[in-house]
Amino acid sequence: MTNINGQAHSDYRSIDDTPLANVPQGEAVTFAGNGARGWRDGGRGTLGFYGADLGSDRPTEGRVPAFLGLAERTGGVYVEDSANGLTAGDALRRAGLDFEVRKETITAARTAEAPVLGDDGSLTLEQHPTGELLVMPDWNATVAYPKDGGQPFAIAPCSPSYSVFQNEEALAVGDSISGGRLVAVGAYGRPVGARVYAAWELGEGMEVAGDPYRNFVTVVTTHDRAGTYALLAPIRLGCTNQTNATFGKRATPRFSIRHVGDMQYKAEEARRILGLSQQYLDTFKESMEELLTVKITKDDFVGYARKLWGVSEDDEDLSKRSLVLAQARDEELLAILAGQTCAFGEGTAYQAYQAVTEYMDWHGTVRGGDSKDARRQERIMMGELDKAKTRAYDLALALA
């Protein structure tokens, strides 16, 4: 297993190549911390698709898909296998994520007051542990027990009725997807391992009128009560945006994974994922091609973006502070619109949609978490921006 201590690498050019020099496919990479700052420091973070990469002729400023970036930013682990030789279980074992999760009783350490003699001879009462443990009968905790005999670690409190879903059991569903190939296994969360995921690429990608995408499905299983789910994530190569949105009742990119046990149920769940994926990708392509037919001006774009963020198009309606913030975002969005990453579909609602999606993923304000870079990748991975991207699509289509 290779340990990466934050040194810069700029030689990652393709999702089909090993991310680090001298690290063979299928070998686990561990990250010692939050890595380098990536695209904010000129696009040369610990890892990064930089320059003409991911099959694109436009720069993506060192950005990487969330299934790689999240492990990097959280001090997690990552295994990439584009040779189609590993199962999810194999990759979990190589990444040190082959652990059994059990529910254990939560206890509280009892304390008692004891006199303490100060340096000046005075006595004070302080709380000291008595060694007695008090059982909390209404709560359990999920605890990971590494199968290689490593040190167990506690993950999160849970109810006694909480259903544990083991990593390999959850991720094996993805291995059964017909035509899918495992590209990555990783972990994140607090502690690292509270959330474990694997990503599979489906097919050979697709094009929207010549604009290339690669299609991924990520299965995430959690041990901190956040559930188990799959996220369909077409990644646009020109900007590395995860362009997932919900298109009415026709297609949704995020859905729960049922807890399955035997092979028959796993196969059924895999067929369900594949069917939903194909339906989603067909609808996505059709919807994006529709946006290419909608012509807009730069003024239309500013109005569209302001409506998306709930800001008045009339500057006189805004307070001085709100106006400054709105104009700053207007300028940043216009710069993205005029950049190489959004050159395709110039003057159309497609370009507008890609620009605001790029802003959401890579430029928008991030709140919460110890690291903004990690939190940014986490919200992409968790599909937290899906509703905003859906509204962006609906408003872009309404420009017709």
In this predicted structure, what is the pLDDT of residue 292?
A: 94
In this predicted structure, what is the pLDDT of residue 60?
A: 53
Confidence of residue 265 (pLDDT cuts 50, 70, 90): low
| pLDDT of 69 above 80 | no
Mean pLDDT of 367-389: 79
Burial class (CB in 10 A: 0-12, 13-18, 19+), 30: middle
In this predicted structure, what is the pLDDT of residue 183?
A: 77
Q: What are phi and psi of 76, to 5 degrees?
A: -90, -160
Look up residue 169 and give its two tokens.
Answer: 């059991």
Q: Which of residues 186 and 308 earns the better pLDDT score? A: 308
Find residue 178's DSSP bridge partners: none
The residue to which tokens 């104009």 are assigned: 327
| pLDDT of 308 above 60 | yes
Amino acid 90 reads: D
In this predicted structure, what is the pLDDT of residue 75?
A: 61
Express each pLDDT in 134-174 by its tens digit.
999 899 999 999 998 889 999 999 988 888 889 998 888 88
Highest mean pLDDT among 166-180, 253-267, 280-294: 280-294
| pLDDT of 244 above 80 | no
Amino acid 327 reads: Q
| pLDDT of 258 above 60 | yes
| pLDDT of 301 above 50 | yes
In this predicted structure, what is the pLDDT of residue 18?
A: 36
Confidence of residue 81 (pLDDT cuts 50, 70, 90): low
Q: What are phi and psi of 152, to 5 degrees?
A: -65, 155
